[in-house]
């Protein structure tokens, strides 16, 4: 059964942090009029058959003939309801928000991942130009609101590409998000991923260096003790050569001081807290919480190290740093803009993902 093969490949990619972290990414398989697509809240690394939702491709196609509200919140609520109605009888899981996009792509298999190496392109100032040079057959989708707007944008671009070239690309790069790769087989997709990762790697001027460094243990313990009452989560600490580079001053910190992708917001908050040398950590923590209505999940202390409130934020911050390093080869970092970050922070779908991630 092809779904069994998709599960095997999903687990392999989902267990490899160079391709996807925590619950990110999604995969799908089409068989006749049925779309098997990853359910929201399931992690690729541990997924099984229960983590896929069976959906009616014909009903999903009918969504494009409907008119939805111009209000963001109302529109996404309406689309979600219609998508839930596209599930086959007996299905209870919530389909990935990108199910519409999976349904659109004219390939039996689709694997959507968020490799830091790829996001070194999608989150770079000159990423679009680099993709056009390295992957001229690919589609580049600028930063647009996720969900229905993203799917509709891809639908329009695919139609334009097919009119011009007679075909649809199997590679779709999404600015500040990741990549969709489609194929006639999972082996074809694997070959495409291997090729594109090698090609991007060949363009790098440098790679991240996470060699551990010795930190001031007494200062670390004091900060851990002070942060302890502010969270029920374990507090992790890390200090390495790359962190030392970005935490030497605020100017260097700017390159890692916001959100490159939606996943960062889900698992690590919308931005890390910067604490200058000699600044009181708790005062800075409380000020951040007061200003933004949420507590920081990553605390970066100048010339000392990075504190993670919980186990999940730290790998996302490491990913952010990796992306920042890779973007140096493509014009430097480009975060999501404030309007998009605010949209995702308040979007019901990402709030749902965040609630699942917190369990």
Q: What is the pLDDT of residues 26-44, one digit of tens each?
A: 999 999 999 999 998 898 9
Number of domain units in the chain: 2
- Bridge partners (DSSP) of residue 237 are 307
Average pLDDT for 194-201: 98
- What confidence tier does 18 reach under pLDDT thresholds 50, 70, 90? very high
Tokens at residue 200, please?
A: 């991007």
- The pTM (predicted TM-score) of the whole model is 0.93
- State which of 143, 169, 201 marks the end of a domain: 201
User: Which of 201, 232, 255 is the C-terminal boundary of a domain?
Assistant: 201
The CATH number that applies at residue 64 is: 3.40.225.10
164 and 282 belong to one structural domain: no
The mean-pLDDT minimum among 10-24, 112-126, 212-226, 339-353 falls in 339-353
Domain span including residue 54: 2-201
Burial of 22 (0-12, 13-18, 19+ CB in 10 A): buried
- Distances in whole angstroms, Cα of residue 313 to Cα of each of 100, 123, 220, 234, 237: 29, 19, 18, 11, 11
How large is the average pLDDT for residues 71-79? 90
Encoding tokens for residue 353?
């993902």
Residue 257, Cβ neighbours under 10 Å: how many? 18
Q: Which of 130, 136, 128, 154 is nearest to 64 (CA)?
A: 154
Q: What is the pLDDT of residue 194?
A: 97
What pLDDT is recorded for position 193?
A: 97
Q: Which of 146, 168, 201 is the last residue of a domain?
A: 201
DSSP 272: P
- Please tell me whether residues 195 and 224 are part of one structural domain: no
């Amino acid at each position: 059964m092809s779904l069994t093969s998709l599960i095997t490949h999903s687990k392999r990619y989902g267990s490899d942090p160079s391709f996807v972290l925590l619950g990110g990414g999604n995969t799908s398989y089409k068989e006749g009029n049925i779309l098997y697509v990853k359910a929201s809240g399931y992690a690729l690394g541990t997924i099984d058959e229960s983590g896929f939702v069976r959906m009616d491709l014909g009903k999903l196609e009918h969504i494009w003939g409907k008119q939805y509200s111009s209000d963001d919140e109302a529109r996404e609520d309406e689309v979600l309801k219609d998508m839930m109605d596209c599930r086959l009888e007996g299905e209870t899981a919530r389909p990935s928000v990108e199910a519409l996009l999976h349904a659109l792509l004219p390939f039996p298999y689709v694997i959507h991942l968020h490799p830091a190496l790829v996001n070194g392109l999608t989150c770079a100032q000159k990423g679009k130009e680099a993709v056009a040079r390295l992957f001229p057959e690919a589609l580049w989708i600028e930063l647009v609101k996720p969900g229905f707007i993203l799917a509709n944008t891809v639908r329009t671009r695919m139609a334009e590409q097919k009119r011009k070239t007679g075909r649809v690309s199997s590679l779709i790069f999404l600015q500040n998000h990741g990549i969709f790769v489609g194929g006639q087989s999972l082996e074809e997709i694997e070959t495409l991923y291997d090729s594109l990762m090698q090609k991007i790697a060949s363009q790098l001027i440098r790679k991240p260096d996470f060699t551990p460094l010795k930190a001031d243990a007494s200062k670390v313990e004091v900060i851990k003790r002070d942060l302890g009452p502010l969270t029920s989560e374990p507090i992790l600490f890390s200090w390495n050569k790359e962190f030392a580079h970005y935490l030497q001053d605020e100017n260097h910190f700017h390159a890692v001081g916001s959100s490159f992708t939606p996943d960062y917001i889900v698992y690590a908050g919308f931005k890390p807290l910067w604490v200058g040398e000699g600044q009181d950590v708790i005062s800075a923590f409380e000020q951040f919480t007061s200003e933004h209505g949420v507590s920081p999940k990553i605390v970066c202390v100048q010339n000392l190290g990075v504190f993670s409130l919980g186990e999940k934020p730290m790998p996302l911050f490491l990913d952010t740093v990796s992306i920042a390093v890779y973007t140096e080869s493509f014009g430097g970092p480009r975060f999501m803009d404030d309007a998009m970050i605010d949209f995702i922070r308040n979007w019901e779908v990402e709030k749902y993902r965040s609630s699942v991630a917190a369990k």
